[in-house]
């Protein structure tokens, strides 16, 4: 499907060359959109001469770990994201079609064929020059998509355009659960000693519950860190299981401190887990201080031992890993260009999204928005009713505790009518999103 008109030749000659830095999932999508819009694109990719600690080849869009691009069902966040990306003519999803392998309801690919297909489709799309070298400068008319393992040389330039304090080098995020899955008969809102607004939801535990919880937490299985993730990157931010292993009382003097948090009927708990609101729709809650390296199944098993969280539904699991990303809410607009210079865009995991498809999606959008800007038009943010638009809104507006995020139904605004059945609700979200992205596509390419 090609919906972008190619500019007439005399207009093309006047067009700027656009620089895209990083030939990963985001970078190739950005290039593709720009090429189709008729721009000359210089794509800088430092591999194979200089590899990251996770990449092994010189191939574009190398999948560094799993070969699964996750669900195809539009009633899941990942499936809906893909349906939206197809509306916007995703290069990565075209390449996935050409290289897919059987994987039930998921989309999985043969990784080398996938990478080859990406390169073939990209080269055929227009006036592309692939420059196989590390790029360390950010000029105007540039999309930066250097990923979670951005080269050292590029870090200085990112600092210069974003501000030094806005560049992070690792994730240390606590799990997020849905608000509706908390058992409110076992939790209560209050502030410590009644000071300030009662913003935190408190989940109390008695002595026996606490003791069992600590025992299971300390013995739980953790993720094996890759060699480049070891070292002192996590200094100053201790995983909850490491803190618990220091002694049975440690958590009661740390994130589970119960003092000043009496329940509405005046009861004093032995320990308290505090949950903080994560979004404006009050649909997601963060387990405060629970950054962890536990495996995902172990997080489900152990954190559900907290009585109010027995049925907790996880929106995002806790992780602690090496990951370069910028503090997007301080730096970016919802169209992914930087507030201080609209001609510089960021895309991919560097913006604080998590996941292959999320990274690719931000590449599509950065490409579309850059093309509009170059043609003298205003970039238009996606409707927030779409998975993609909701994630971009999160990137530009999340609060103080910004942490990388993947797609989730909890990010999109609630439906106008309340639908109790979860499957029917998701279906309604998907229909609304696909209608809205279809309208968006027509608007954006009509003018």
Ligand X SMILES: Cc1cc2nc3c(=O)[nH]c(=O)nc-3n(C[C@H](O)[C@H](O)[C@H](O)COP(=O)(O)OP(=O)(O)OC[C@H]3O[C@@H](n4cnc5c(N)ncnc54)[C@H](O)[C@@H]3O)c2cc1C
- Candidates 15, 22, 262, 331; binder of ligand X (CB under 6 A) is 22
| CA–CA dist 337, 270 (Å, integer) | 48
By the 10 Å C-beta count (0-12 exposed, 13-18 middle, 19+ buried), 196 is classed as exposed
| Residue 145 engages ligand X in binding (rule: CB under 6 A) | yes
24 counts as binding ligand X under rule CB under 6 A: yes
Interaction between residue 58 and ligand X (CB under 6 A): no
Q: Could you tell me which residues come within 8 angstroms of residue 418 by beta carbon, excluding any fewer than 6 positions away?
A: none
Least separation, in Å, of the C-beta of 262 and ligand X? 43
Minimum CB separation of residue 63 from ligand X in Å reads: 7
Helix (H, G, I), strand (E, B) or coil at 430: helix
Q: 304: which 2 tokens?
A: 């559900």
**Contact between 47 and ligand X per CB under 6 A:** yes
Q: SS3 for 422?
A: helix
Helix, strand, coil distribution of the chain in percent, nearest 5: 40, 20, 45
Residue 355 or 367: which CB sits closer to ligand X? 355
What is the total count of residues that contact ligand X (CB under 6 A)?
A: 35
Nearer to ligand X, 143 or 433 (CB): 143
Binding test (CB under 6 A) with ligand X, winner from 54, 130, 305, 428: 54
Residue nearest to ligand X (CB): 24
Residue 91 and residue 418: Cα distance in Å, rounded? 36
Picking from 292, 153, 317, 275, the residue whose alpha carbon sits closest to that of residue 234 is 292
Query: Does 42 help bind ligand X (rule: CB under 6 A)?
Result: no
Long-range contacts of 14-19 (CB under 8 A, 24+ apart): 15/39, 15/40, 15/374, 16/141, 16/374, 17/41, 17/42, 17/141, 18/42, 18/141, 18/142, 18/143, 18/370, 18/374, 19/44, 19/135, 19/139, 19/141, 19/142, 19/143
- According to the binding rule CB under 6 A, does residue 291 interact with ligand X? no
Stretch that binds ligand X, among 20-28, 33-41, 79-87, 331-339 (CB under 6 A): 20-28
Among 18, 20, 34, 46, binds ligand X (CB under 6 A): 46
Question: Between 342 and 381, how does the x/- string for binding to ligand X read (CB under 6 A)?
Answer: ------xxx----xx--x----------------------
Considering only 20, 93, 154, 220, the residue that binds ligand X (CB under 6 A) is: 154
Show the DSSP H helices in 44-164 as ranges.
Answer: 77-87, 91-99, 111-124, 152-162
> Considering the rule CB under 6 A, would residue 240 count as an interface residue with ligand X?
no
Which span sits near ligand X by CB under 6 A: 77-85, 150-158, 174-182, 365-373? 150-158
Tell me how far, at minimum, the Cβ of 406 lies from ligand X, in Å: 8
Residue 113 corresponds to which tokens in the numbers above? Answer: 């064929």
Member of 76, 115, 117, 146 binding ligand X (CB under 6 A)? 146
DSSP assignment letter at 267: P
**Minimum distance from residue 137 beta carbon to ligand X (Å):** 9
Residue ranges that bind ligand X, judged by CB under 6 A: 21-27, 44-47, 52, 54-55, 64-66, 134-136, 145-151, 153-154, 348-350, 355-356, 359
């Amino acid at each position: 499907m090609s919906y972008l008109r190619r500019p007439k030749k005399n207009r093309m000659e006047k067009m700027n060359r656009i620089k895209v830095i990083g030939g990963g999932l985001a970078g190739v999508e950005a290039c593709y959109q720009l090429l189709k819009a008729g721009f000359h694109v210089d794509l800088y990719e430092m591999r194979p001469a200089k590899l990251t600690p996770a990449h092994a080849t010189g191939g574009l869009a190398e999948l560094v770990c799993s070969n699964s691009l996750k669900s195809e069902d539009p009633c899941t966040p990942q499936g809906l994201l893909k349906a939206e990306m197809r509306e916007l003519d995703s290069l990565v999803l075209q390449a996935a079609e050409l290289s897919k392998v059987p994987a039930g309801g998921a989309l999985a690919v043969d990784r080398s064929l996938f990478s080859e297909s990406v390169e073939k489709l990209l080269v055929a799309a227009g006036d592309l020059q692939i420059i196989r070298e590390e790029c360390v400068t950010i000029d105007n008319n540039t999309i930066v998509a250097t990923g979670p393992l951005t080269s050292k040389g590029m870090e200085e330039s990112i600092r210069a355009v974003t501000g030094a304090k806005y560049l992070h080098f690792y994730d240390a995020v606590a799990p997020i659960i849905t608000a509706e899955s908390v058992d409110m008969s076992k939790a209560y809102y209050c502030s410590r000693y009644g000071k300030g607004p009662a913003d935190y939801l408190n989940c109390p535990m008695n002595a026996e519950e606490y003791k069992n919880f600590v025992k299971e937490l300390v013995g739980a299985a953790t993720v094996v860190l890759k060699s480049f993730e070891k070292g002192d990157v996590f200094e100053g931010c201790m995983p909850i299981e490491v803190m618990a292993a220091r002694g049975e009382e440690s958590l009661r003097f740390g994130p589970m401190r119960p003092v000043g948090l009496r329940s509405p009927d005046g009861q004093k708990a032995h320990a308290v887990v505090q949950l903080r609101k994560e979004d404006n729709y009050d649909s997601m809650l963060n387990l405060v201080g629970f950054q962890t390296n536990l495996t995902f199944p172990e997080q489900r098993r152990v954190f559900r031992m907290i009585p109010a969280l027995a049925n907790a539904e996880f929106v995002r699991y806790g992780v602690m890993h090496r990951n370069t990303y910028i503090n997007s809410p301080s730096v970016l607009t919802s169209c992914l260009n930087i507030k201080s210079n609209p001609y510089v865009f960021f895309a991919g995991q560097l913006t604080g999204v998590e996941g292959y498809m999320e990274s690719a999606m931000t590449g599509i959008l950065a490409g579309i928005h850059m093309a509009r800007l170059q043609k003298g038009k205003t970039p238009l943010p996606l409707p927030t009713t779409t998975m993609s638009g909701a994630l971009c809104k999160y990137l530009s507006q999340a609060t103080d505790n910004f942490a990388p995020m993947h797609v989730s139904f909890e990010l999109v605004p609630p439906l106008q009518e309340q639908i109790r059945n979860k499957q029917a609700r998701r279906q309604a979200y998907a229909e609304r999103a696909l209608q809205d992205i279809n309208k968006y596509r027509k608007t954006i390419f009509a003018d």
